[in-house]
Amino acid sequence: MKEGTEAVRNAGRPTEPPTDPFAAVPLPSHPIRPGAAAGSRDPRRPGADRPRSGPDGAPGAVPDGGPRLPPGVSPDIFGPSGDPGFGRTAGPAAGGTGLPAAASPPQPWRMAAPPPEQPLPPRPPQAGPGGPPSAGPAGEGEPAPRGRSRRLLLVTVLLLLLAALAYAVPAVAMSGKILPGTRVQGIDIGGLTATEAADRLRERLADRADEPMLLTAFGERHDLDPEKAGLELDVVATIDQAPSDFPTPAEVWRALTGTTELAPRHSVDSERLDAAVAALAEDIDREVVEGAVRFKGVKPVTVKPQDGRELEKGAAVAAIRKAYLGPAGPVELPITVIKPKVTAAVVAETAASAGKALSGPITLTAGARRAVLPVGTVAAHLSFAPDDSGGMRPVFDARKAVATVEKDLVDQAQAPREPTFRIVGGKPELVPGRKGRGVDDKKLAAAVADLVSEGGSRTIPVSLTTVRPRTSEAELRKLGIKEKISEFTTPFECCPPRVTNIRTIAKLLDGHLVKPGETFSLNGVVGERDTARGFVEAPMIAGGRLVPSVGGGISQFVTTMYNAVFFGGLQDVQHMAHEFYISRYPAGRESTVSWPAPDFRWKNDSPYGVLVKTSTTSTSVTVAFWSTKRYEIESVSSERYDITPFERKTDSGPDCIPMVGQQGFTIDVTRVFKKDGKEVKRETEKTVYRPETDLTCVAAPAQAPAEGD
């Protein structure tokens, strides 16, 4: 009875056997030490580390240090903790209904010893409120890994907290500034405010932003001023690329571990950049040179074909915008190459056979009327140009070729009249033109081209048609012919044959109009001098001697026109001084001419028309140019130098023309261009004169009579 008595004492109070609520609870099979847990190990008893079971096999252990229950009483009646009043109550979470478990059927007070103990799997100790861990019923309470899960959760929370701190601390420090490690063209702006970064970039990139850009095209260097081209560093846009708000974790990591390189941004004034590229195109572009064959006098000369090139303006603008403030180095501009239509070999082959076209003059007929185009006139207006099949075709400018002979083919009462100007009261006055009958130049051009290509008769019947004046009155009014821009006069002695030739050519060219951009050619306009138009034989210089020639003496008219060109500020294209100096001309400002060469040519390089007006007296010839004055011209001549003596000779030939000896010398003449009294440019021409032979003509010695006469 000792075991029962001990059990009752542990229950807390005496109980009456039949009526006690726990009477049916079997007593434990061994004494329970005060304060000992049912599942605790007793080193004095084998198997003490195993939980005890009751008669029905239910665990009977109680938590260490918890309230003692009567023997056989299950702690489940107080809830999952087994702690009456302090532990958990039974409920759904514990697998119960929330009420104490039903009592077991009444059992005898005394019970047989419990069956042998069965080993059970170990359970982790559980802690009840206010008490140490204790073992609960098997299958009830928390699983064994719960403690480890809590530790893992705690570690995770700590790691997350540390990570949050590792992000938040630098993020707060970086907020409102440009992230560390941010660079622009190697300039560190990290850790600066936007204002500080802008000041630093302006200070360190200003020189580079204003530095001329090096551009190349076909190996040629071109400099581009960024300011003139409308290119400018945009500091604000550059800095706006860098985030300066509260940084993200990725931005914090990048700022702490690496660098961020920002490309400098720039602003562009599109109109100024387009204008700058257009100016570049003027320097870079080259017109394609098509192969051609022309005539210099009657000798064919070739124009070698050359590739053209054109700046691709749109692509060039894009390339310049992309390269500005980028890596150092030249920017290659995009160029389109334009190929000529024919090869140099085709041009050479055409030139070799071009001389056949000048085998003789071409005669034009219109009914009973006839006119002759001399070989020189044909050559002056004939050329060969590329066709569409890779070859070359003859091109004849019939309109200009017949200009001087058309009056011989058309009744002048029916001929068209060109509008022109007459000088009235010292001012040019427009004289209207009119339509009339004239040569159909298109049909004539085709006929001459066929003759050159296929051969045949050199007499061509021309067709007459109604033609308009070559220049309209409206066009003349726009040419700006309003004042005299130059005038020059040279004297001569009255009445020798050369004076007839001077007056004849002056009359032919009176009223001639040279339009803007046109080049005047005396041989091209007048053609070969012949007796049919009033020219006569007179002395001219050839090979250092005076020789008779039809049209001789017109060099004086050419010299007079050359000085009108000189003082009119127009472009001298081709002139040739006489072999030796002639005292009636200004030294270094004179020119000769002959047929077919040398020619005298000048270009109207002004935006205005130039009207040629000529006049003669018994002792002089005058050439005046009317247009819009651009320059005041001053002539400055050097002293004569490199003086060379002349020789004395005699000649008894029948064609001998005596000459007065003169020294040879060299002289420089400078043409000074002025506007409003200020010099704008100057041109210097050197002229070298050979000494003029002092030639005396003597009678040929009389031949001795033959023997027997």
Say what the pLDDT of residue 540 is: 78
Q: Mean pLDDT over residues 119-147, rounded? A: 53
Kindly report which listed range (78-82, 177-181, 411-415) carries the lowest average pLDDT score. 78-82
Q: Mean pLDDT over residues 415-435, rounded? A: 91
**pLDDT, the chain, mean:** 80
Q: Mean pLDDT over residues 132-156, rounded? A: 66
pLDDT tens digits, 220-242: 899 999 989 999 888 888 888 87
- pLDDT-derived band at 701, boundaries 50, 70, 90: low
- pLDDT-derived band at 113, boundaries 50, 70, 90: low
- Is it the case that residue 11 has pLDDT exceeding 60? no
Say what the pLDDT of residue 341 is: 93
- Is it the case that residue 641 has pLDDT exceeding 60? yes
Q: Which of 207, 209, 270 is nearest to 238 (CA)?
A: 209
pLDDT tens digits, 493-529: 888 899 999 999 999 999 999 999 999 999 888 888 8
Backbone angles phi, psi at 27, to 5 degrees: -80, 155
Q: Which of 697, 695, 694 is nearest to 664 (CA)?
A: 694
- pLDDT-derived band at 572, boundaries 50, 70, 90: very high
DSSP 369-391: EEEEE-HHHHHHTEEEEE-TTSS
- Quick one: which H or E segment has residue 281? helix 270-284
- Is it the case that residue 482 has pLDDT exceeding 80? yes
CA–CA distance, 147 with 153 (Å, rounded to integer): 10
Q: Which of 353, 180, 143, 364 is nearest to 254 (CA)?
A: 180
Kindly report which listed range (79-88, 329-338, 399-408, 436-445) carries the lowest average pLDDT score. 79-88
pLDDT tens digits, 44-67: 444 444 444 444 444 444 444 445
- Is it the case that residue 2 has pLDDT exceeding 70? no
- Is it the case that residue 657 has pLDDT exceeding 70? yes
- pLDDT-derived band at 131, boundaries 50, 70, 90: very low
- pLDDT-derived band at 570, boundaries 50, 70, 90: very high
Backbone angles phi, psi at 362, to 5 degrees: -115, 125
- Percent pLDDT > 90 in the chain is 44
Q: Is 178 exposed, middle or buried (0-12, 13-18, 19+ CB in 10 A)?
A: buried
Unique residue bearing structure tokens 């033959």: 706
Instruction: Please say whether the beta carbons of 238 and 244 come within 8 A.
Output: no
pLDDT tens digits, 308-360: 999 999 999 999 999 888 887 899 999 999 999 999 999 999 999 998 899 99
What is the longest distance spanned by two Cα atoms in the chain?
A: 211
pLDDT tens digits, 267-281: 899 999 999 999 999
Please report the domains of the chain, with CATH numbers, ordered by start residue: 1-126 (no CATH), 154-340 (no CATH), 357-477 (3.10.20), 483-697 (no CATH)
Q: Is 523 exposed, middle or buried (0-12, 13-18, 19+ CB in 10 A)?
A: buried
- Percent pLDDT > 70 in the chain is 76
* CA distances to 372, 634, 704 from 707, in Å: 54, 71, 9
Q: Comparing 206 with 589, which gets the higher pLDDT?
A: 589
Which neighbouring-strand residues pair with 632? Answer: 674
CA–CA distance, 525 with 554 (Å, rounded to integer): 14
- Is it the case that residue 4 has pLDDT exceeding 60? no
Beta strands 382-386; 392-396: pairing state = antiparallel
pTM: 0.49
Q: Mean pLDDT over residues 241-247, rounded? A: 71
Using a CB cutoff of 8 Å and minimum separation of 24, what contacts does 270-274 make? 270/230, 271/230, 272/228, 272/229, 272/230, 273/229, 273/230, 273/231, 273/317, 273/320, 273/321, 274/313, 274/317
Unique residue bearing structure tokens 């701190």: 165
Q: Which of 213, 228, 229, 236 is nearest to 325 (CA)?
A: 213
Say what the pLDDT of residue 119 is: 55
- Is it the case that residue 404 has pLDDT exceeding 90? no
CA angle 558, 578, 378 (to 5 degrees): 55
- Is it the case that residue 85 has pLDDT exceeding 60? no
CA–CA distance, 313 with 297 (Å, rounded to integer): 42
Q: Comparing 129 with 305, which gets the higher pLDDT?
A: 305
CA angle 567, 568, 574 (to 5 degrees): 85
Say what the pLDDT of residue 69 is: 56
Q: Which of 336, 355, 348, 340 is nearest to 296 (CA)?
A: 355
